[in-house]
């Protein structure tokens, strides 16, 4: 090894000067280094010898830019890198490069997509019904997880409720407000977007000239959804719910001590576009959940059919064996 390094170093014509390193035990060998700035470390002939260390950058073809230790124990030469004992000089070591993942070419991306499409097509056209159902079920579950992650972005943190004294209305006042609210034609429509900032803004605009306003909820198909809308509107607008009719209509009263707020659209509500996006994701999630339930029922029925058919076949085989 020592001879090979010596031959490799001396082969280059760029050597101009060098340093004689070791001669006490191996007189036949001499090592030369390039004329670079180096630091000579004191060595002891009785202990492990730290031959040389340098503070420059060494040629990477031959060695790393680190301290080298030559050990001569039992007439055996050993090299050790980055492990010099003793000495006050600190030699900086080379930092390893962090290899980045190479970008895939367009052709490799197309080939990968083609592979996945063929794999999916093979499962879809499989003669085994269980394989087809399981593939659809896995795909639907992945879509469900993706939709849930999307809907989390539209969750707006609710601001702490303001402390205010609720106004107490008598039965006569409630009856009067209920009748007047039914007769008047002014109304606010809550559509598929649900309760968002624009609905609360329209409530305050109606309360500028009217004490009561009707809120018509058109797509309230779920049970209890009208009452949820009524509570949400009362919290955001600080109004009073007078009546909730069975035809999905809410009558809201602005209050005796009503003061029009400076910001009529609350901060903890979605905009018109965001509310529509949320509605679409909710609809997709609802349909996906129904499709998953349907596939799970189909898979369960198919497994029952397979077990029943297998049991019947085993009984027929047993009866044949008994007859023989």
What is the C-alpha to C-alpha distance for residues 35 and 48, in angstroms, rounded to an integer? 26
SS3 301: helix
Per-chain mean pLDDT for the chain: 77
What is the C-alpha to C-alpha distance for residues 116 and 196, in angstroms, rounded to an integer? 41
Q: Residue 291, Cβ neighbours under 10 Å: how many?
A: 16
pLDDT classification of 218: cutoffs 50, 70, 90: confident
What's residue 1's pLDDT? 54
First-last CA distance in the chain: 82
Q: Which domains does the chain have, with CATH numbers?
A: 171-275 (3.30.110.60)
pLDDT tens-digit profile of 251-304? 999 988 888 888 888 888 999 999 999 999 999 999 999 999 999 999 999 999
- Residue 119, pLDDT > 50, answer yes
What's residue 232's pLDDT? 92
Q: Is-contact 288 136, C-beta < 8 A?
A: no
pLDDT tens-digit profile of 269-283? 999 999 999 999 999
Per-residue three-class SS string for 260-294? CCCCCCCCCCCCHHHHHHHHHHHHHHHHHHHHHHH
- The encoded tokens of residue 163 equal 């402390």
Of 63-67, 103-107, 166-170, the range with the highest mean pLDDT is 103-107
Q: Residue 263, Cβ neighbours under 10 Å: how many?
A: 9
What's residue 320's pLDDT? 82
Structure pTM?
0.60
pLDDT tens-digit profile of 184-214? 899 999 999 999 999 999 999 999 999 999 9
């Amino acid at each position: 090894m020592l001879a090979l390094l010596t031959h490799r170093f001396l082969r280059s014509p760029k050597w101009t000067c060098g340093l004689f390193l070791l001669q006490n035990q191996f007189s036949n060998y001499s090592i030369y280094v390039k004329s670079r700035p180096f630091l000579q470390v004191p060595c002891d002939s009785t202990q492990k010898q730290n031959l040389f260390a340098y503070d420059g950058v060494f040629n990477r073809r031959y060695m790393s830019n680190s301290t080298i230790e030559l050990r001569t124990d039992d007439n055996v030469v050993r090299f050790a890198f980055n492990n010099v004992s003793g000495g006050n000089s600190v030699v900086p070591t080379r930092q390893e490069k962090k290899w980045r993942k190479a970008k895939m070419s367009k052709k490799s991306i197309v080939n990968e997509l083609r592979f996945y499409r063929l794999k999916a097509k093979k499962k879809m056209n499989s003669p085994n019904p269980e394989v087809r159902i399981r593939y659809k079920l896995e795909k639907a579950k992945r879509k469900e997880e993706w939709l849930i992650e999307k809907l989390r972005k539209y969750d707006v943190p609710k601001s702490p409720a303001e402390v205010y004294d609720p106004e107490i209305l008598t039965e006569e006042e409630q009856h009067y407000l209920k009748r007047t609210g039914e007769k008047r034609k002014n109304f606010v429509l809550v559509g598929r977007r649900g309760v968002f900032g624009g609905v609360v803004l329209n409530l305050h605009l109606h309360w500028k000239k009217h004490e009561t306003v009707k809120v018509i909820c058109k797509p309230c198909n779920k049970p209890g959804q009208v009452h949820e809308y009524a509570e949400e509107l009362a919290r955001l607008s600080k109004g009073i719910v007078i009546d909730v009719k069975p035809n999905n209509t809410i009558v809201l009263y602005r209050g005796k001590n009503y003061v029009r707020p400076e910001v009529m659209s609350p901060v903890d509500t979605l905009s018109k576009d965001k509310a529509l996006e949320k509605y679409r994701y909710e609809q997709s999630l609802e349909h996906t959940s129904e499709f998953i339930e349907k596939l799970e029922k189909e898979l369960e029925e198919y497994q029952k059919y397979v077990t029943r058919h297998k049991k019947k076949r085993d009984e027929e085989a047993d009866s044949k064996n008994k007859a023989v």
